[in-house]
Amino acid sequence: MYYQVKSLDPGLHIVSIPIGRARDITLNALDVLASADVIVAEDTRVIKKLLNIYEISVSKVRLLAYHDHNAKKQVSKIMNFLKEGRSVALVSDAGTPLISDPGYLLVNEASNIDVLVTASPGPSALLAALTVSGLPTDRFTFCGFLPSQKLSKLNYFNKCDLHSTTLIFFETPSRILSTIEDLAPILGEKRKIVVCRELTKKFETIYRGTALQVKESLKNDVLKGELVLLISPRIEEVVGKNEIDMSLKKLMKSHSLKESVKIVSENLGVNKNIVYKSALKINGS
């Protein structure tokens, strides 16, 4: 037997489950799932499969669906379980709950009353992708899913791209190619991107290169499941002032100052304020 049925402390137990290999689950997570009074799951069919693999009986536990479409309705019901002194395990379809998955409303409510809120940490697509990406890991920013519309996507990306950190997004197979195409002009040829698909699964594949290189590689592959898109930090510190000035002088012959600043900032990955100051000096001289 892989698990132990224990007397579980009353409260909300946030449980991470595998993103691919079933054997990636922790022993503590199995103990919690086997011992909880209630299991709150994004999709009860998914958690039933995992419980069956480890021969954990579902007859003695109450399974409750909790997802984006019923979260507000279900929170009050789950809160009643917690107030009654029940042990409640929260799981998503894969990985760690709340990371672009349902759970925030529930954890927020539970944290405002005098009940235990604890985590059984484990697999996370976000961290798995970061560790295999080959990009800097000392500072990173997770931004969830990008909007589907191009203008909204670019605006959202620029808001995320404020600091010198590795950027991490989740993306769907149907949108990944258009997303990379939309971002390519901003990223240029100097910033590297990584796309991870089927992490920890049989057909795990890591694509690395410039935006255009990765896009070409993805075109020739069958894409399934949720993808993780990582983008290297801004490299403005290695872009010399001369390079900025030369680009601006060329563009300002045929474009307005504002347009030139925007294009140079996006192409070189340099903060707009830095480019704008250079443009003003050129314009003044």
| pLDDT of the chain, 285 residues: tens digit per residue | 789 999 999 999 999 999 999 999 999 999 999 999 999 999 999 999 999 999 999 988 999 999 999 999 999 999 999 999 999 999 999 999 999 999 999 999 999 998 999 999 999 999 999 999 999 999 999 999 999 999 999 999 999 997 789 999 999 999 999 999 999 998 988 899 999 999 999 999 999 999 999 999 999 888 888 899 999 998 654 557 788 888 898 888 889 999 899 888 888 777 788 888 889 988 886
Residue among 165, 169, 164, 212 at smallest CA distance from 187: 212
Residue among 19, 28, 201, 31 at smallest CA distance from 97: 19
3-state secondary structure (DSSP) of residue 206: strand
Residue among 17, 77, 5 at smallest CA distance from 42: 17
**CA 62 – CA 56 distance, rounded (Å):** 13
